[in-house]
Chain A
Amino acid sequence: MATQTETKPAHPGNGNLIGLRKSDYRGGKSTLCQGCGHSSIASQIIAASYEMSITPERIIKLSGIGCSSKSPAYFLNRSHGFNGLHGRMPTIATGAIMANHGLKAIGVSGDGDTASIGLSHFIHLVRRNVPMTYIVENNGVYGLTKGQFSATADKGQELKSAGINPFMPVDICMEALIANAGFVARSFAGDPKQVKELLKAALSYDGTAVLDIISPCVTFNNRDESTKSYAWARAHQEPLHDVTWVPKREEIQVEYDPGDRIDVEMHDGSLLVLKKLEQDYDPTDRMAALKMLAETSCGGYLVTGLIYIEDNRPTLTEIENLVEEPLSVLNEGKIRPPRETLEALIQTFQ
């Protein structure tokens, strides 16, 4: 199912390639706190979808429970959404995508949702390579229930009501890699440009694209020493590269020396251009990615960018060998075998 229309020329003043305005992608009024990282991510989802000219009716939004999971109500009003159960979004997503594999799925989860109550579903979703964009809005704290530690909170961190956290954090990117994810990225809600470009890449990816976004909670976990705070993340962000997503068949405008960049061709023909920064980083080397995460998790840096990509793993849709037409709209002739088949079958039980 095409999600981009290439026939219409772009009219910058008159909407995107499919003639929609940015307002066609907006959501309901947010009930999140002023300054919440999640709101910034919602804005980038709107911007990315608009700029990619995705038909909003061809997107489904899925979430679990928590502040992050409320946010699908705040973007893409013209997309169907399902705010499910705490931690169980991957299961709903799996079923929905099998029912209609022509849709693009955006899952929004939080660190409680993904790293605690739903950790097994997350791992199994990744393992099955269910085609979807899986965003974790990671703030290290339970916001809606007022400030308990989550499983991604820093060891030794102190929170007002929760005390000192004695446990090592779960690293969502590392979990994804261990589960054999084919697309793993980390970003920071305070870096909207990078969030947007990585979102576009995720939306162009053919399998599970995991996007772990540090998204500060301004109310419960934004003290300067917290690794999930705006101040700390700004001061310690170390991008692996400069990321630019280039749509299908568009001239590459970015003028980097080919030696200074890595081009990753996405399944839909678009291109992800990674410009080298201080050091060489090869996002197609899984062991290097794991090593980098292991080294930097305790190193006092917030490494962001595309951590790992591999584009030839079969998706669950391919493994299930589904007919092209979505299962949800198959008519009776396709889903009810004819009478004579039943008669033949009955004979085998006689």
Chain B
Amino acid sequence: MTNKQGPQTAEAIPHRERIVNDLSMVVATVNGSGSQTSNTALIRAIFRMGIPVSGKNLFPSNIQGMPTWFTIRASSEGFTARRETVEVLVAMNIATFEEDLSGLVEGGVCFYPDHFSAPETRPDVVFYPMPVRSVIKQVNPPRELRDYMVNMVYVGVVAQMLGIDLQEIRGALETHFRGREKPVQLNMQVVGASASWARENLQELDPYVLERDSQTEGMILIDGNTAAALGAIYGGVTFAAWYPITPASSLAEALQTYLPQLRKDPETGKATYAIVQSEDELAAIGMAIGAGWAGARAMTSTSGPGLSLMAEFSGLAYFAEVPVVVWDVQRMGPSTGLPTRTSQGDVLFVRFLGHGDTSQVMLIPGNIEECFEFGWRAFDLADRLQTPIFVLSDLDLGMNMWMSRPFQYPSEPIDRGKILSAEQLEQVQEFARYRDVDGDGIPYRTLPGTDHPKAAYFTRGSGHDDRAEYSERPEDYEGIMQRIARKMETARALLPKAVIERMKGAEIGLIAYGSTDSAVREARARLLDAGVKTNYLRLRAIPFGPEVKDFISQHERVYVIEMNTDGQMRMLLQLEVPEHATRLHSLTHNNGLPVSARWITERVLEAEEV
């Protein structure tokens, strides 16, 4: 089983054309071994060289000792979705070495610690052994940091062999350690020693090269959950409650990191926000709704299991018309249903969350910029529409590293919606909390604490008249339901429109949403290579705007691409345009991994019988 042939030579490996800035690299490590710093340094260094890049952490639900994989994709074409092929393997986990190796493309590259025995199963692969132990011995870092430093060896060797600039590794480490020089220096010692060793001892036998480009200038590299939290902070979040859950925790944790930096009163140093880690998700949304009712810009963030606990409160907020923002960073099924794997399986559940005719308003960011933008816009919409706003992200978008244009500062002032002050109450004859004064279905509200005898009203579930008095009169109930339906028509016009991209002469349509956007874009390019032109509509909100129906009516066949098994969005679209229901075809991918462009391309070609 072991590679006893010694170092490979140039003669043994056929010469190949150089492949520049186009590779997918997998770093296989043991969970909890501290590889995050190394992987972040690699990806950020490539990014800083101007090469479009993305990073995905494929991890099982464990804390320590189990295999985990970090994937870095560099793409000169700018595609950042998961790629199914792996060209470069950094095999740091002996337990999965053989399996990892079997996933490499023909003629791929494998870096491995020289104290591992490389399997002999892949004679086509270029092997680069790395002297992990001797480098660590030479640098001699403090004992407690040794495990982390082991991972820096592959950073140095990989950088040397693929052409990553060591100065950019240093810059990436400076970002990672927020300018603390000591850890940067220590890590760079290991990186430098490893790179020198590789320069002197390894012969370049593989075709993969990373070369400086200029495609990331001004861009940022960040995960969607951090972007969402920052968006919320610039949207004026004043209250957040949450309960820990993968893959949503890092959103609330980013709030905890950045709120103290950005939202302290400059004079008193006191907080202009409150954040509470609650006893469960039920309490998290209850607190957010209580805060929203009392006038806060209130939010919570969760994933599927937490959302299940939030069902009753979501319905209450819908009927009591309380503004609140709920981020759902989607994962797969209940309980141990792949908690660390991505999915778009909550679409139908969220849309109808609550009992008794709820049609919740949803925003669906498709990239980092939109995570930030919908982060602030969701509060304006919640306040304007006086209803819960659900923002559907997913594990892939939320927890993985994406390249993005920088965030745009909010383009509109904060909108608090229809709130009557004491002065305004003085001027109105009567304040009726649930009366449609303006004909848009949106009533006026007052905040608790408004100093006017007319201000108070009593909030309760759906059984109330337009003065918020308890009522079981049939006409009152119907009146409330009809007005909320009008309000939802108003919502259509206020929500972000779908994004449509066309190709001249295209006959088929693709509809997608959320994190699949990057894979769909790449698939469209590959389909075009195969002679199939496509128009593409990316949904960004529900209820849908009129452009969605128009798009469907313009195409004989529309493929709805999504990461769930049942084609949940396709069903919602069929409800929206029953007259065109048969034009809509599902392409569903639901195995825990982000969908790839290759998968989409193949499925469309299959369906189109090309």
B-contacting residues of A (Cβ < 8 Å)? 24, 28, 55-58, 60, 62, 72-73, 77-85, 88, 90-100, 102-103, 120-121, 124, 128, 316, 320-324, 326-330, 332, 334-337, 339, 341-342, 345-346, 348-350
Judge whether B406 is part of the interface by a CB distance below 8 angstroms. yes
CB pair B407 A346 closer than 8 Å: yes
The 5 closest A-B pairs by CB, nearest first: A91-B286, A328-B295, A95-B290, A95-B291, A335-B236
Known: A327-B239, A332-B413. A85 touches B272 (CB 8 A): no
Tell which of A77, A328, A348 touches B238, judged by Cβ atoms closer than 8 Å: A328
- Contact indicator per residue, chain B 389-409, by CB within 8 Å of chain A (1) or not (0): 000000000000000001101
Would you call A120 and B279 a contact (CB within 8 A)?
yes
Known: A57-B453, A121-B283, A330-B238. A100 touches B294 (CB 8 A): yes
A-B contact pairs, 6 of them (CB 8 A): A95-B288, A98-B276, A334-B265, A337-B263, A345-B262, A350-B220
B459 touches A335 (CB 8 A): no
> Which residues of chain B have C-beta atoms less than 8 A from A79's C-beta?
448, 456
Nearest Cβ on chain A to B137's Cβ, whole angstroms: 35
| Chain B residues with CB under 8 A of A335 | 236-238, 263, 272-273, 297, 414
CA A83 – CA B316 in complex, angstroms? 10
C-alpha spacing A348/B220, complex, angstroms = 8
| Contact call A96/B447, Cβ cutoff below 8 A | no
Report how far A55 CA is from B489 CA in the complex, Å: 40
Tell me if B142 counts as interface (CB < 8 A to partner A). Answer: no
Please give, as numbers and ranges, the residues of chain A lying within 8 Å of B291 by CB-CB distance.
Answer: 95-96, 98-99, 327
In the assembly, what is the distance between CA of A329 and CA of B291, in Å? Answer: 12
Q: Is B188 an interface residue (CB 8 A)?
A: no
> Which of B271, B292, B313, B452 touches A321 (beta carbons < 8 Å)?
B271
| Chain A hits for B263, CB < 8 A | 335, 337
Q: Check A81 against B458 for contact (C-beta < 8 Å).
A: yes
B 213-237 to A, binary, CB cutoff 8 A, 1 in contact else 0: 0000011111000000010011111
Q: Which of A60, A72, A99, A329 contacts B298 (CB 8 A)?
A: A99
Assess the B459–A349 pair: CB atoms within 8 A.
Answer: no
**Residue B450 interfacial (CB < 8 Å):** yes
Among B48, B239, B285, B297, max chain A CB count under 10 A is at B239
A320 touches B271 (CB 8 A): yes
Cβ-defined contact, B262 with A341, below 8 A: yes
Residues of B within 8 A of A91 (CB): 278, 282-287, 289-290
From A103, A320, A329, contact of B274 by CB (8 A): A320
**Contact of B120 with A by CB under 8 A:** no
Q: Which of A28, A316, A326 contacts B295 (CB 8 A)?
A: A326
Q: Is the CB of B221 within 8 A of A95?
A: no
Chain B hits for A95, CB < 8 A: 239, 241, 286-294, 296, 298
Whole-angstrom distance between the alpha carbons of A329 and B296 in the complex?
A: 8
**A337 close to B262 (CB less than 8 A):** yes
Q: Is B460's CB within 8 Å of the partner chain A?
A: yes
B447 touches A100 (CB 8 A): yes
Q: How far is the CA of A342 from the CA of B227 in the complex (A)?
A: 12
Asked if B455 is an interface residue, CB under 8 A from chain A, the answer is yes
Contact B456 A80 (CB under 8 A): yes
Q: Cβ of A57 and Cβ of B290 under 8 Å apart?
A: no
| A350 adjacent to B272 (CB under 8 Å) | no
Residue of B nearest to A339 (CB): B409
Q: Who on chain A is nearest to B324 by CB? A: A95
A178 smallest CB distance to B (angstroms): 15
A82-B414 in contact given A91-B283, A121-B279, A330-B272 (Cβ < 8 Å): no
| Contacting residue for B449 out of A102, A120, A346, A348, CB 8 A | A102
With A60-B294, A332-B414 in contact, is A92–B287 under 8 Å at CB? Answer: yes
B42 CB, nearest partner CB in chain A, Å: 16
Picked from B241, B262, B275, B316, the residue with its CB within 8 Å of the CB of A84 is: B316
Is the pair A96, B312 in contact by a Cβ cutoff of 8 Å?
no
- Bound-state CA distance A157–B41 (Å) is 68
Which residues of the partner chain A approach B123 to less than 8 Å between Cβ atoms? none
Q: Is the CB of A80 within 8 A of B455?
A: yes
Tell me the bound Cα distance from A90 to B289 in angstroms. Answer: 12
**Interface residue from A73, A85, A93 paired with B316 (Cβ < 8 Å):** A85
Residue pair B274, A92 in contact (C-beta under 8 Å): no
Residue of B nearest to A329 (CB): B295
Contact of A336 among B320, B414, B456 (CB under 8 A): B414
Does B280 have its Cβ within 8 Å of any Cβ on chain A? yes
Does A332 lie within 8 Å of B279, measured CB to CB?
Answer: no
Q: Return the contact of A96 from the options B221, B290, B470 (Cβ within 8 A).
A: B290
Smallest beta-carbon distance B169→chain A, Å: 15
Q: Is B15 an interface residue (CB 8 A)?
A: no
A78 near B456 (CB under 8 angstroms)? yes
Cα–Cα distance between A322 and B453 once the two chains are bound (Å)? 28
A342 touches B409 (CB 8 A): yes
- Inter-chain contact A120/B280, CB cutoff 8 Å: yes
Chain B residues closer than 8 Å to A96, beta-carbon distance: 290-291, 293-294, 448
Tell me if A83 and B458 are in contact (CB < 8 A): yes
B448 lies within 8 A of A100 (CB): yes
Closest to B469 in A: A28
Question: Who on chain B is nearest to A345 by CB?
Answer: B230
Q: Which residue of B lies closest to A57 (CB)?
A: B451
A77 to B468, CA, bound (A): 12
Which residues of the other chain, B, contact A327 by a CB distance below 8 angstroms?
238-239, 272-274, 291, 295-296
Instruction: Please judge, given known A-B contacts A82-B290, A96-B293, A98-B239, whether A337 and B449 are in contact too, CB under 8 Å.
Output: no
B116 within 8 A of A: no
Q: Is the CB of A336 within 8 A of B274?
A: no
CB-CB under 8 A from A81, the residues of chain B are 456-459
How many angstroms between the C-alpha atoms of A163 and B320 in the bound complex? 38
A85 and B312 contacting across the interface, CB-CB below 8 Å: yes
> Which residues of the partner chain A approach B292 to less than 8 Å between Cβ atoms?
95, 99
Q: How far is the CA of A100 from the CA of B292 in the complex (A)?
A: 10
Chain B contacts of A128 at CB under 8 A?
276
The chain A residue with its CB closest to the CB of B220 is A349
Contacting pair A83 B271 (CB below 8 A): no
The minimal Cβ–Cβ distance linking A76 to chain B, given in whole angstroms, is 8
Q: Which residues of B lie under 8 Å from residue A97 when comparing CB positions?
A: 290, 294
- The interface residues of chain A lying within 8 Å CB-to-CB of B455 are 57, 78, 80
Decide: B295 and A124 in contact? CB cutoff 8 A: no
A330: nearest residue on chain B (CB-CB)?
B272
Bound form: Cα–Cα A81–B175 in Å: 49
B24 CB-CB contact with A under 8 Å: no
* Bound Cα distance A337, B230 (Å): 10
Given contacts A326-B449, A336-B235, contact A98 B296 (CB under 8 A): yes
| Nearest chain B CB to A207 CB, angstrom units | 16
A332–B409 alpha-carbon span in the complex (Å): 14
Shortest distance in angstroms between A81's beta carbon and chain B's nearest beta carbon?
4
B286 in contact with A92 (CB, 8 Å): yes
Q: Give the distance in Å from the alpha carbon of A104 to the alpha carbon of B125 in the complex.
A: 72
Q: A90-B286, A328-B447, A332-B236 are in contact. List 4 more A-B contacts (CB 8 A).
A: A57-B451, A91-B282, A328-B296, A336-B234
Nearest CB in chain B: distance from A27 CB, A: 9
A88-B294 in contact (CB<8A): no
B270 and A321 form a contact (CB under 8 A): yes
Q: Does B446 contact A (CB under 8 A)?
A: yes
The closest CB in chain A to the CB of B468 belongs to A81
Q: Chain B residues near A56: list those with CB within 8 A.
A: 456
- B2 on interface, CB distance cutoff 8 Å: no
Asked if B268 is an interface residue, CB under 8 A from chain A, the answer is yes
Q: When chains A and B are docked, how far (Å) is the Cα of A334 from the Cα of B270?
A: 11
Choose one: A77, A82, A324, A336; the contact of B293 (CB below 8 Å): A82
Distance in Å: Cβ of B469 to nearest Cβ of chain A:
8
Given contacts A91-B278, A92-B293, A335-B236, contact A323 B268 (CB under 8 A): yes
Chain B residue nearest to A87 (CB atoms) is B282
Select A99's contact among B284, B295, B453, B457, beta carbons within 8 Å: B295
Contact with A along B463-494 (1 / 0, CB 8 A): 00000011000000000000000000000000
Residue picked from B222, B291, B450, B455, most chain A C-beta under 10 Å: B291
A92–B272 contact, CB under 8 A?
Answer: no
Q: Which of A60, A81, A99, A332 has the most CB of B within 10 A?
A: A99
